[in-house]
Amino acid sequence: MAGLVSYVKRSSVSHLLLAITFFVSGLIINLIQALLYCGLRPFSKYLYRKINYYVCYSLYCQLVFMAEWWASTDLIIYIDKEDLERYYGKEHGFLIMNHRYEVDWLMGWVLCDRVNILGNCKTYAKKSIQYVPTMGWAWMFAESVFLERNWEKDKETIGRQIKELVEHPDPIWLLLMAEGTRFTTEKHEASKKFAEEKGLPILKHHLTPRTKGFTTSLPYLHGKFGGIYDVQLSFKQGEKPTITDLLLGKRVQAHLYISRIPLDKVPVEEEACAQWLYQLYQKKDRMTDSFFRTGDFFAESGVEKIEGYRLPRRYYSLINTVAWGFVVLVPIVYYLLRLLTSGSTIYISVGIGIIGIFSLLLSKMIGMTKISKASSYGKTATTPTETKDSPSATKKTD
């Protein structure tokens, strides 16, 4: 039986069916969001945001399903249990997460689902992403912070968007990956060179954080957000799971540390705030080094030890994905079979073309998550997550 299940998970047909379900349901969800945005939001942002939480959840949790139920991801979390009960999912939170893996964001979403805040996850993202159907459009309607890499425009955007986000009737989590791009050896060398030139701490397992977006955002958070959440994800040394691995049903074990820092503990003045972020990344670096050397975040990092444990999976992602599969696949598979068995060259070609389109969409989605496709470090214009002296500010685009 286990062999049959494994075969099904590796099957290209299964992957195609998952892709059809995700993209078709995503477009339906985008249409619902557009109707709500035009027909409801002008009259009641409160009601729009209440409903949009569930609409977004219906899309996001399909990817959580892939990690939790399809690939049986084992997520070990390290959280203060008292803080978990008191704050997590119950207040606006600003998350700062390392950016080393292709699936780091998805492991974060697994945690978000388990603390019942997945539908209200927001992020800082490149403006071009908001034009991508399904996920990009969903983020746009969910009021994520989209940036153009033009500081004068982005500074205004950050302030305007955070002022909107803090008015959400339910708790939200806003994610900032302050390294700006995923870790690679090439980017790490550029980061170390910059740190040496500027007298900044040289990090072993992280890129030097870009501080501008954080220091600009912070004043808008005070009095509205309860805390900053330091999020650190690691897999065993040498393990670098990908979306393709999860799609193939490969089980991964992720270790996720998250610590709440009250917002009033973070300095507001720009230079002090930037130094605070550098110190936070030194802590992150010690934890990662300790984990890679000993398999334990705390053994050699000097950070107070927290015992790891597992929060139970919720069934909503499974139920939602199965329901969408039934709604989408029954009619589409029926008509595809009719096309492919029609005996008409034209109809058969149309059927094959439809299958090809969904296969291409799946390939494109996987490609967008690959580390090799991430933005460069030190080769772009000034961004709102950089200081004017950062590597990206001191070099021109090739």
* Per-residue model confidence (pLDDT) at position 182: 86
Q: What is the number of domains present in the chain?
A: 1
Cross-sheet strand order for the sheet of 173-176: 74-78, 253-262, 227-234, 93-97, 173-176, 121-126, 145-147
Q: What is the CA radius of gyration of the chain?
A: 22
* Per-residue model confidence (pLDDT) at position 152: 86
CB 351 within 8 A of CB 157: no
The answer to whether residue 252 sits within a structural domain is: yes
* Per-residue model confidence (pLDDT) at position 359: 86
The answer to whether residue 346 sits within a structural domain is: no
Spell out the per-residue pLDDT of the chain, length 398, in tens: 778 888 889 999 999 999 999 999 999 999 999 999 999 999 999 999 999 999 999 999 999 999 999 999 999 999 999 999 999 999 999 999 999 999 999 999 999 999 999 999 999 999 989 999 999 999 999 999 999 888 888 999 999 999 999 999 999 999 999 998 888 889 999 999 989 998 999 999 999 999 999 999 999 998 899 999 999 999 998 888 999 999 999 999 999 999 999 999 999 899 999 999 999 999 999 999 999 999 999 999 999 999 999 999 999 999 999 999 999 999 999 999 999 988 889 989 998 999 898 888 888 877 766 655 555 555 544 443 444 444 433 333 33
The answer to whether residue 163 sits within a structural domain is: yes
* Per-residue model confidence (pLDDT) at position 384: 39
pLDDT tens readout for residues 244-301: 999 999 999 999 999 999 999 999 899 999 999 999 999 999 999 999 999 999 999 9
Burial class (CB in 10 A: 0-12, 13-18, 19+), 119: buried
The answer to whether residue 52 sits within a structural domain is: yes
Taking each continuous run of H as one helix and of E as one strand, the counts in the chain are 14, 7
The answer to whether residue 376 sits within a structural domain is: yes
* Per-residue model confidence (pLDDT) at position 393: 35
The answer to whether residue 187 sits within a structural domain is: yes
* Per-residue model confidence (pLDDT) at position 390: 42
Angstrom distance (rounded) from CA 365 to CA 255: 25
Q: Which residue has the tokens 């490149």?
A: 126
Smallest CA-to-CA distance from 274 within 138, 387, 382 is with 387
Angstrom distance (rounded) from CA 178 to CA 227: 17
* Per-residue model confidence (pLDDT) at position 43: 97
* Per-residue model confidence (pLDDT) at position 389: 42
Beta-bridged to residue 125, according to DSSP, are 146
Apex CA 260: angle with CA 255 and CA 266, to 5°? 130
The answer to whether residue 362 sits within a structural domain is: no
The answer to whether residue 205 sits within a structural domain is: yes
* Residue 327 region by backbone torsions, left for phi larger than 0, else alpha for psi between -120 and 50, else beta: alpha
Range of the domain at 34: 2-317+367-390
